[in-house]
């Protein structure tokens, strides 16, 4: 059996009372969404590292990817694993917590302490489920901006993020150019491509096909669509790797056996690996959150928001950019980054761009890539000099 | 380190190009390498510089120096820049390696109010002598690669370049030819002297 259905749900404590800082907004400060809906009350969970300087100019906001969370450099309270970017964020690391005040918040629609479909709807006393309004990348950024207002940070020194985090970085620059001194969108693109929407749709259909999804009302029923969510994760996980990386890691090697078993058991190591990825994912993620956040990515089209011309998103911007892509990333391939760079050039913005050579696929932005680290360090150091930090 | 004291250790053509740039100008360096010229321009002329460079290593060195440089190609990435985006667009020892030098030069004159181009002169007497006497493609200190290895696919002479500038209706504001010891050929000499004794040339152009 792939995954047992009676697996422990995401601990409710992380959904409403997370092991991190939380900013709560009452009915007087609703979050106004692109869909036209307003959310109130609502909350945003975040972590911070380092110290905010006296003139509040050294803050770096890190934007997380689809299934990431605010625990960028601290132990994940559910998995017990280290933070997802501990190789980049910390004392003396490229995002140096001895110099910078680093913030990372959980996105709106997620399930790690920021309001999302697993949260309790105060009006009904029930989990939101599918009655939660659809959210967009711009809504995520709007929520982050309200968090910064709450913390009294007028301008960020930098916004940094990969994949969906990179979309948020681009949206930050487009929505609040004066609040962003430097921006680093990594392994991302100005739109979500047809191929990427297609993969997301497969994942969503896998979740919805699970009888335990119950039309989105599984929390009330005390069950979870663990099988569907695991399959969604397995499919998505393939898109984060590359053929070269899969070949190097697994090849056609068999899992704890000398010969195929002539069954549908996980004979191959790659099957066993994917099953493990699926199973461990469902322990920490809410299925409806997965539907909402994948949808937010699908809707992302920065040019469409600016008359169909991407450069219009960046007209007159003073922010300095550093765009990075990875050579084997086929989810957000290098031409996506080049489109961003060309638009920034057309807007006469300050931009650096490098494609990092790596065979690790999209996931490379989370892994140890020394050239990438050196690029980020060089960019942030020079931006810090320009900012007088 | 060259980075610390660029003038002292610099290629003569870079220094001469830097001298052609007005203080505080906006400059795009196409094929900026490790950013030596951009650093020189930032430090000595206070310019707001940007770069395009083909090699990853070069881009990384530039970014680590704090320069705004994108990985890209003169042949494919200039189209994205708007008209008059820069005061100067510089192409240093690169035009002979582009696929379409004419288009590149047109873009430079469109993007920049002025263009500065330096290139090796294929009309230099040593090149001519090599070809005439040995009957083989010249390999010199300045052009060390064999024909099958060289990235230089569109060599030209100084006179060829002048002809292209005329065709594009570009006005030459300044021109320099450097002899093999890196010294400028006397500017009152006729073109044929430049074309024979100039090992490399530097042109400051503007739209006609």
pLDDT range class, residue A1, cuts 50, 70, 90: very low
pLDDT band, very low/low/confident/very high, at A251 (cuts 50, 70, 90): very high
B56 to chain A: closest CA residue: A354
Domain extents in chain B: 6-207
Q: What is the mean pLDDT of residues A359-373?
A: 96
In this complex, do A375 and B70 lie within 8 Å of one another by their Cβ atoms? no
**Are residues A381 and A262 part of one domain?**
no
List residues of A with catalytic annotation.
163, 329, 362
Contact A351 B80 (CB under 8 A): no
Q: Which of A250, A271, A295 is the last residue of a domain?
A: A295
Q: How would residue B4 be classed by pLDDT, with cut points 50, 70 and 90?
A: very low
Dihedral over Cα of A54, A55, A56, A59: its sign: negative
Min mean pLDDT across A37-51, A298-312, B48-62 is at: B48-62
Same domain, A350 and A279: no
Q: What fold is seen in the domain B6-207?
A: Rossmann fold (3.40.50)
CB contact under 8 A, B70 and A341: yes
């001298």: which residue's tokens? B19
Are the C-beta atoms of A3 and A227 separated by less than 8 Å?
A: yes
Q: Give the span between the Cα atoms of A373 and A184, in whole angstroms.
A: 12
pLDDT band at A4 (very low <50, low <70, confident <90, very high): very low
Contacts for A209-216 with beta carbons within 8 Å, 24 or more apart?
A210/A287, A212/A5, A213/A287, A215/A130, A216/A117, A216/A129, A216/A130, A216/A288, A216/A291
CB contact under 8 A, B81 and A346: yes
Q: Assess whether pLDDT exceeds 70 at residue A10.
A: no
Nearest CA in chain A to B26: A348
Point out which residues pair with A28 in neighbouring strands.
none
Q: What is the pLDDT of residues A91-115, one digit of tens each?
A: 999 999 999 999 999 999 999 999 9
Q: Report d(CA A135, CA A293) in Å as an integer.
A: 8
- Predicted confidence band of residue A257 (pLDDT cuts 50, 70, 90): very high
Contact A354 B82 (CB under 8 A): no
Q: Are residues A239 and A277 in the same domain?
A: yes
Q: Do A377 and B64 touch (CB under 8 A)?
A: yes
| Element (DSSP H or E) covering residue A170 | helix A164-175
> Which chain A residue has its CA at the smallest distance from B81's CA?
A346
- Position A216 in a domain: yes
Mean pLDDT value across chain B: 90
Mean predicted confidence (pLDDT) in A349-354:
95
- Give percent above pLDDT 90 in chain A: 96
Query: Which 318-337 residues of chain A touch chain B by CB within 8 A?
Result: 320, 322-323
Which residues 344-373 of chain A have a CB within 8 Å of chain B?
345-346, 348, 350-357, 371
Give the residue from B50, B43, B30 showing the smallest Cα distance to B2: B43
Chain B residues with beta carbon closer than 8 angstroms to that of A342: 77, 80
Q: Is residue A78 part of a domain?
A: yes
What average pLDDT score do residues B124-133 get?
91
Domain around A255: 196-295
Question: Distance from A216 to chain B by nearest Cα, in Å?
Answer: 46
Q: What is the mean pLDDT of residues B59-78?
A: 92
How many residue contacts between A and B have a Cβ separation below 8 Å? Answer: 72
Average pLDDT over residues B104-118: 97
Residues in chain A with CB shorter than 8 Å from the CB of B82 are: 346, 348
Task: Using CB atoms, pick whichever of A320, A346, A353 lies closest to residue B70.
Answer: A353
Report yes or no on A178 lying in a domain: yes
Give residue B3's pLDDT: 44
> Does residue A78 surpass a pLDDT of 70?
yes
Rounded to whole angstroms, the Cα distance separating A386 from B68 reads 12
Please name the member of B63, B67, B85 whose beta carbon is closest to the beta carbon of A348: B85
Q: How many domains does chain A have?
A: 2
- Residue B10: the pLDDT is 60
Look over chain A and give the mean of its residue pLDDT values, rounded to a whole number: 95
Using the predicted structure, report yes or no on whether residue A8 has a pLDDT greater than 70: no
CA atoms within 13 A on the CB side of A360: 13
Q: Are residues A186 and A221 in the same domain?
A: no
Nearest CB among A352, A383, A386 relative to B69 is that of: A352
Q: Of A261, A295, A329, which marks where a domain is finished?
A: A295
Burial B61-89 (b: 16+ CB within 10 A, else e): bbbbbbbbbbbbebbebbebbeeebbbbb
Q: What is the pLDDT of residue A70?
A: 98
* Structure confidence at residue B184 (pLDDT): 84
Output the pLDDT for position A6: 47
Together in a domain, A171 and A284: no
At A154, is the pLDDT very low, low, confident or very high (cuts 50, 70, 90)? Answer: very high
**Looking at the partner chain, which of A341, A348, A375 has a beta carbon nearest the beta carbon of B63?**
A375
Which of A259, A253, A258 has its CA nearest to residue A273? A253
Which DSSP symbol is given to A198?
H
pLDDT for residue A192 is more than 90: yes
Q: Which residues of chain A make contact with B111, given a CB cutoff of 8 A? A: none
Tell me the C-alpha distance between A227 and A213, whole Å.
Answer: 10
Give the residue from A239, A243, A240, A211 showing the smallest Cα distance to A227.
Answer: A211
ipTM: 0.84
Q: How confident is the model at residue B2 (pLDDT cuts 50, 70, 90)?
A: very low
Region B33-42 average pLDDT? 94
Terminal Cα-to-Cα distance of chain A (whole angstroms) = 55
The domain that holds A104 is classified in CATH as 3.40.50.1820
Measured CA to CA, the distance from residue A82 to residue A103 in angstroms comes to 17
Asked if residue B7 has pLDDT above 50, the reply is: no
What average pLDDT does range B6-16 have in this prediction?
Answer: 67
- A223 Cβ under 8 Å from any chain B Cβ: no
Identify whether A331 is part of a domain.
Answer: yes
Report the residue of chain A nearest B50, measured CA to CA: A350
Contact status of A317 with chain B (Cβ, < 8 Å): no
CB contact under 8 A, B60 and A378: yes
The C-alpha atoms of residue B118 and residue B112 are separated, in whole angstroms, by 16
Chain B residues lying within 8 Å of A383, measured CB to CB: 66
Contacts of A322 in chain B (CB under 8 A): 63
Question: Is A363 known to sit in a ligand binding site?
Answer: yes
**Residue A12, pLDDT score:** 60
Distances (CA, A) of A82 to A25, A68, A371: 29, 12, 23
Residue A79: alpha-carbon gap to chain centroid = 17
The answer, for B122 touching chain A at a CB cutoff of 8 Å, is: no
* CB proximity under 8 Å: B 69-88 to A: 69-72, 77, 80-82, 85
Hey, are the CB atoms on A353 and B82 less than 8 Å from each other?
Answer: no
Q: Which of B59, B65, B82 sits opposite A354 (nearest CB)?
A: B59
**Are both A335 and A212 inside the same structural domain?**
no
Partners of residue B85 in chain A, C-beta under 8 Å = 345, 348
Reply yes or no on whether the pLDDT at B187 is more than 80: no
- Mean pLDDT across the stretch B154-180? 94
Residues on chain B touching A354 (C-beta within 8 angstroms): 56, 59-60, 63, 71
- Domain assignment present for A9: no
pLDDT range class, residue B12, cuts 50, 70, 90: confident
Mean pLDDT over residues B141-154, rounded?
89
């Amino acid at each position: 059996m792939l995954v047992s259905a009676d697996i422990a749900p995401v601990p409710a404590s992380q959904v409403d009372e997370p092991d991190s800082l939380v900013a709560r907004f009452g009915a007087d400060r609703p979050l106004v969404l692109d869909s036209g809906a307003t959310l109130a009350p609502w909350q945003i969970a975040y972590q911070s590292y380092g110290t905010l300087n006296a003139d509040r100019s050294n803050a770096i906001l890190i934007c997380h990817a689809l299934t990431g969370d605010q625990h960028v450099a601290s132990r994940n309270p559910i998995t017990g694993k280290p933070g997802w970017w501990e190789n980049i964020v910390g004392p003396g690391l490229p995002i140096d917590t001895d110099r910078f005040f680093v913030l990372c918040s959980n996105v709106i629609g997620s399930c790690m302490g920021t309001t999302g479909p697993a949260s309790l709807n105060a009006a009904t006393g029930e989990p939101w489920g599918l009655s939660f309004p659809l959210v967009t990348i711009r809504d995520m950024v709007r929520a982050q901006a309200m968090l910064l207002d709450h913390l009294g940070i007028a301008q960020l020194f930098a916004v940094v993020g990969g994949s969906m985090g990179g979309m948020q970085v681009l949206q930050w620059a487009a929505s609040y150019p004066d609040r962003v001194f430097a921006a680093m969108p990594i392994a991302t693109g100005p739109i979500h491509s047809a191929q990427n929407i297609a993969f997301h749709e497969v994942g969503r259909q896998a979740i919805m096909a699970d009888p335990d999804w119950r039309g989105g009302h599984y929390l009330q029923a005390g069950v979870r669509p663990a099988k569907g969510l695991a399959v969604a994760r397995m499919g998505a996980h393939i898109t984060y790797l590359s053929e070269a990386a899969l070949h190097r890691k697994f090849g056609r090697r068999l899992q704890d056996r000398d010969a195929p078993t002539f069954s549908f058991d996980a004979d191959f190591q790659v099957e066993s690996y994917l099953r493990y990825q699926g199973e461990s994912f469902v322990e920490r993620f809410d299925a409806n959150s997965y539907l909402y956040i994948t949808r937010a990515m699908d809707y992302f089209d920065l040019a469409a928001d600016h008359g169909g011309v991407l450069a219009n998103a960046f007209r007159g911007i003073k922010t300095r950019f550093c765009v990075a892509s990875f050579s084997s990333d086929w989810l957000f391939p290098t031409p996506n980054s080049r489109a961003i760079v060309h638009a920034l050039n057309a807007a006469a913005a300050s931009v650096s761009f490098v494609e990092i050579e790596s065979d690790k696929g999209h996931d490379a932005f989370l892994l140890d890539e020394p050239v990438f680290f050196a690029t980020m360090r060089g960019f942030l150091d020079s931006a810090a000099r320009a900012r007088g930090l | 380190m060259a980075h610390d004291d660029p003038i002292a250790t610099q290629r003569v053509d870079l220094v001469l190009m830097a001298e052609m740039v007005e203080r505080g100008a906006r400059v795009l360096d196409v094929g900026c390498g490790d950013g030596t010229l951009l650093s020189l321009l930032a430090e000595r002329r206070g310019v707001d510089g940007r770069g395009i460079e083909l090699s990853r290593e070069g881009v990384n060195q530039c970014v680590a120096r704090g320069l705004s440089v994108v990985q890209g190609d003169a042949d494919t990435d200039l189209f994205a820049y708007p008209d008059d985006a820069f005061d100067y667009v510089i192409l240093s020892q690169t035009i002979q390696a582009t696929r379409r030098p004419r288009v590149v030069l047109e873009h430079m004159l469109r993007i920049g109010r002025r263009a500065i181009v330096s290139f090796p002169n294929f009309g230099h007497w040593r090149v001519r002598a090599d070809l005439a006497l040995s009957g083989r493609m010249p390999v010199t200190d300045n052009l060390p690669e064999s024909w099958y290895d060289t990235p230089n696919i569109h060599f030209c002479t100084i006179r060829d370049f002048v002809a292209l500038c005329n065709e594009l209706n570009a006005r030459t504001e300044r021109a320099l030819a450097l002899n093999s010891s890196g010294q400028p050929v006397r500017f009152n000499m006729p073109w044929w002297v430049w074309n024979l004794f100039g090992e490399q040339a530097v042109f400051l152009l503007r739209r006609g």
